[in-house]
Structure 1
Amino acid sequence: MSRPTLRYNLNDLLAFVTVAREGSFTRAAARLGVTQSALSQAISGLEARLKIRLLTRTTRSLSPTLAGERLMQAIGYRFDDIQQELEALTELRDKPAGTVRITCGDNIIQTTLLPKLMPLLHEYPDIKVEFDIDYGFRDIVADRFDAGVRLGESLDKDMIAIPIGPELRMAAVATPDYFAQHPLPKTPRDLMHHRCINIRLPTYGGLYVWEFEKQGKKLNINVDGPLIFNTSLHITAAMLGGLGIAYLPEPEFSPYLEQGRLIRVLEDWCPSFAGYHLYYPSRRQPSPAFSLVLEALRLKNSGYAESQSP
């Protein structure tokens, strides 16, 4: 006698996978485009049919149970494979389509990503690009991003990185009004006697240590000041308000330096370094849409080779 077959709605399984990954019914409902009530009912129905709890819910947290973890490991990646295959089918269309998700910082969107991608998006109206502003080093595989953007050539395991911008330099700047009231710093150590605007790096949790180098001599300076931010956008605004010295990559300040609204200091302590790179998993077959985005962003005639982590 054959065993009875249990049939499960794939939407319910997708609902479970999404909730488990997001760790939140609110975020999962927003990603799936459904109500939280419908999502909760789908999970409850799935648990009732399986006769086992898949999620542990409290007023402050949500996490998979042991059974939920096992189910995630068994089916989570299969939904990713299905999505990837569906996106690959756009190769057979007249024009590729699909969504490309990129995690990055604020400034690189304005200076590089949008200018380079606008012509592509006009030519291919069915391609969508989603930007996630985040200054931490996201796990783009676990968080289901197609790519990320970061400074330098540091790579996560199994990542490919391509340069999308030229070499950069850091810049220490403040307004003329600020320096009318405070002496110009002659060396990086002088910054310890200045009001400086800090940034806290999400990945490490600590304040960014200002790094300088001159003729092979490196100095790391812990600065202090009235403000701490976790994005560069507000640092620039505060510094333009005369609240202290800021230290960020040159492109953050270029328009204001050209207008004479800022004074740059310690320039001889700021050597060039590898600029912005786009990185993505080496083991994942790029979708047609992502391949077009990749080609649009690639730095032409850069002299840099595409690099891959071991």
Structure 2
Amino acid sequence: MKREDLNDMLWFLAVAEERSFTRAAAKLGTSQSTISHTIKQLEARMGLRLLTRTTRNVSPTEAGERLIRSLAPRIEELETEIDELMEIRDKPSGTVRITLSDYAQESVVWPKLRPVLRHYPDVRVELNMDNGFRNIVEEKFDAGVRLGESVDKDMIAVRIGPDWRLVAVASPEYLTAHATPRAPQDLVGHDCINHRQASAGGLYAWEFGKNGREVRVRVDGQLIFNTSYAMIDAAVSGYGIAYVPESLVVDEIASGRLVQILDDWSPMFPGYYLYYPSRRQNSPAFKVIVDALKV
């Protein structure tokens, strides 16, 4: 069957259903003369009369009825399958891959996604923890999460968390054995728990600020980690002073296992942003993630 024959048969079904060339033409968005000419050509190609025409009515012939019984179920099945495909297009489903730091995952991303994903069982999320910077385009990530100051200008950035700060903490036992620092420069000579930056490979220089004055201190100590959680555990165990996200040590400070120092020197940092390429075509699944995370 040629493609034009199938199209003409769809027009025939419309006329047979409406029992009128005028109503069928209106339904199909064409003229009465055009649809009448199309049906005549179809009948000529098939060598069968499909419609009986009178001045008041249009009705299928016996051959027309047989054609209707043959075509209608198949057309209905095709329409159903197309509707199902459209539902897949609009229904959130598929995998969303995000690269982010451990702190971003624990403090912002997972707490926001946890209650939402229950409502979207067909949405799969891969959270790839990495404290370094990743090329999300080359490594086929859908998005990344980083601090606002770290997001490239050519990316779309959506704020997903509040500003936050790092705080210096140590165990009471450590501070009993060592003089408590009163200024950032006093950290020199102390046992400090260092943080290795995955992107640059170097050790993080602790950033402080007060009254518009900014100070960076390169500290030294026995231990180096690339995750805040290990640094906190080491500080609780008395290995020295750690500089970690404030929200991660609230319980330890409240219980007395850690003591916060240099509080007035701890500056605020821009909060986390979800970022992704500007040319990305957002799928329904990706939109679910963005809507769940944005502030």
Could you say whether these structures have the same fold, taking a TM-score greater than 0.5 normalized by the shorter chain as the test? yes
Match of 2:70 in 1: none
Match of 1:185 in 2: 181
Residue 139 (structure 1) aligned with residue 135 (structure 2): yes
Instruction: Name which one, 1 or 2, has greater alpha-carbon Rg.
Output: 2
Match of 2:291 in 1: 295
Query: What letter corresponds to residue 147 of structure 2 in structure 1?
Result: L
Q: What SS does the aligned partner of 1:204 have?
A: coil
What is the RMSD computed on CA atoms of the aligned residues? 1.6
Q: 1:176 aligns with which of 162, 172, 197?
A: 172
**Structure 1 residues 244 and 287: CA distance shift in structure 2, 3 A:** same
Deviations 1:54-110 (A, max 9, x none): xxxxxxxxxxxxxxxxxxxxxxxxxxxxxxxxxxx7863674111111111112222
**Structure 1 residues 200 and 91: CA distance shift in structure 2, 3 A:** farther
Residue 285 (structure 1) aligned with residue 281 (structure 2): yes
Match of 1:119 in 2: 115
Deviations 1:134-180 (A, max 9, x none): 01111111111111111233322421112211111110001111111
Residue 213 (structure 1) aligned with residue 209 (structure 2): yes
Query: What letter corresponds to residue 110 of structure 1 in structure 2?
Result: E
Q: 2:240 aligns with which of 240, 244, 249?
A: 244
**Structure 1 residues 285 and 193: CA distance shift in structure 2, 3 A:** same
1:133, distance to aligned residue in structure 2 (A): 0.9
1:243, distance to aligned residue in structure 2 (A): 0.4
Q: What SS does the aligned partner of 1:139 have?
A: coil
CA distance in 1, matches of 2:168, 2:177: 17
User: In 2, are the aligned partners of 1:90 and 1:97 still within 8 Å (CA)?
Assistant: no
Match of 1:257 in 2: 253
**Structure 1 residues 98 and 181: CA distance shift in structure 2, 3 A:** same
Query: What letter corresponds to residue 225 of structure 1 in structure 2?
Result: G
Q: 1:160 aligns with which of 156, 162, 166?
A: 156
Query: What letter corresponds to residue 272 of structure 2 in structure 1?
Result: Y
Structure with the larger helix share: 2
1:262, distance to aligned residue in structure 2 (A): 1.1
Q: What SS does the aligned partner of 1:253 have?
A: helix
Q: 1:270 aligns with which of 266, 280, 288?
A: 266
**Structure 1 residues 90 and 259: CA distance shift in structure 2, 3 A:** farther
1:209, distance to aligned residue in structure 2 (A): 0.4
TM-score, normalised by the number of residues in structure 2: 0.68
User: In 1, are the aligned partners of 2:99 and 2:143 still within 8 Å (CA)?
Assistant: yes
CA distance in 1, matches of 2:259, 2:246: 12
Query: What letter corresponds to residue 142 of structure 1 in structure 2?
Result: E
Query: What letter corresponds to residue 285 of structure 2 in structure 1?
Result: A
Residue 232 (structure 1) aligned with residue 228 (structure 2): yes
% identical equivalent positions: 54
CA distance in 1, matches of 2:103, 2:132: 14
Give the length in aligned residue pairs: 211
Q: Could you tell me which runs of 5 or more consecutive residues in structure 1 were left unpaired when the two chains were aligned.
A: 1-88, 300-310
CA distance in 1, matches of 2:86, 2:115: 20
Query: What letter corresponds to residue 258 of structure 1 in structure 2?
Result: A
CA distance in 2, matches of 1:133, 1:91: 33
Q: Could you tell me which runs of 5 or more consecutive residues in structure 2 were left unpaired when the two chains were aligned.
A: 1-84
Q: 2:99 aligns with which of 103, 106, 112?
A: 103
Residue 199 (structure 1) aligned with residue 195 (structure 2): yes
CA distance in 2, matches of 1:193, 1:224: 7
Runs of 4+ in 1 over 3 A off after TM superposition: 89-95
Q: 2:146 aligns with which of 140, 143, 150?
A: 150
CA distance in 1, matches of 2:225, 2:175: 22
User: In 1, are the aligned partners of 2:94 and 2:124 still within 8 Å (CA)?
Assistant: yes
**Structure 1 residues 129 and 90: CA distance shift in structure 2, 3 A:** farther
User: In 2, are the aligned partners of 1:171 and 1:264 still within 8 Å (CA)?
Assistant: yes
1:196, distance to aligned residue in structure 2 (A): 0.2
CA distance in 2, matches of 1:192, 1:275: 29
